[in-house]
């Protein structure tokens, strides 16, 4: 009996571990994005914005993906929440956020499970009610609204396997 337990335990220890969840993010023509960098010489650079958006997709995506799943996201356009006002409030400029300027991402994505495609689409992700929905998480960071939009999209679309509306 003891020998059989040892064999089972050894088999479990030597069995390959399931692949970890993985998110990859690619940006297509980011210099043409609607609003991903300051056009006025103040505020965040394109490089900083892309690095942060990549970090948000990978960090938040890793939380919702299960072992053996991978998500490839191609970002086709970024429109950050609000509008930048040039020259106001110092070197970072001032971003005026109102309900007429919700964050928006155009994405192409493929979710795979153990190499098999389970969900894929081109989609525009936005939320016109972002100010009321995301007021709970105002933390003063530069990408608060984008973070919440990405988190909710990943939870609904990817973790929930919900097909985009036609």
**Global pTM?**
0.79
The CA radius of gyration of the chain, in Å to the nearest whole number, is 20
Q: What tokens appear for 90 in the block? A: 């110092």
List pLDDT tens digits, range 97-138: 777 789 999 999 999 999 999 999 999 999 988 888 766 555
List pLDDT tens digits, range 31-64: 999 988 866 655 678 999 999 999 999 999 999 9
Residue range 130-148: mean pLDDT, rounded: 75
Q: Which residue has the higher pLDDT, 158 or 166?
A: 158
Point out the least confidently predicted range of 19-23, 28-32, 79-83, 99-103. Answer: 19-23
Residue 159 is given by DSSP the state I
The answer to whether 109 and 118 are in contact (CB under 8 A) is no
pLDDT value of residue 11: 46
Strands (E), 16-92: 22-27, 69-79, 83-85
The answer to whether 142 and 110 are in contact (CB under 8 A) is no
Q: Give me the helix-helix angle, 144-153 and 46-64, nearest 10°.
A: 30
Where does residue 142 rank: exposed (0-12), middle (13-18), buried (19+ CB within 10 A)?
middle
Give the Cα separation of 111 and 161 in Å (integer): 9
């Amino acid at each position: 009996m003891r020998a059989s337990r040892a064999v089972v335990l050894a088999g479990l220890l030597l069995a390959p571990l399931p692949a970890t969840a993985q998110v990859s993010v690619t940006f297509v023509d980011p210099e043409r994005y609607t609003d991903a960098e300051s056009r006025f010489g103040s505020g965040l650079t394109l490089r900083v914005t892309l690095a942060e958006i990549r970090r948000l997709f990978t960090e938040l995506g890793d939380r919702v993906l299960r072992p053996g799943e991978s998500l490839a996201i191609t970002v086709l356009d970024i429109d950050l929440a609000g509008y930048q006002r040039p020259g106001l409030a110092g070197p970072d400029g001032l971003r005026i956020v109102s309900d007429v300027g919700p964050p928006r991402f155009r994405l192409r994505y493929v979710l795979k499970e153990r190499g098999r495609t389970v969900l894929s689409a081109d989609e525009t992700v936005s939320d016109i009610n972002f100010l009321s929905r995301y007021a709970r998480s105002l933390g003063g960071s530069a990408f608060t609204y984008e973070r919440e939009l990405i988190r909710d999209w990943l939870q609904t679309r990817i973790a929930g396997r919900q097909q985009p509306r036609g």
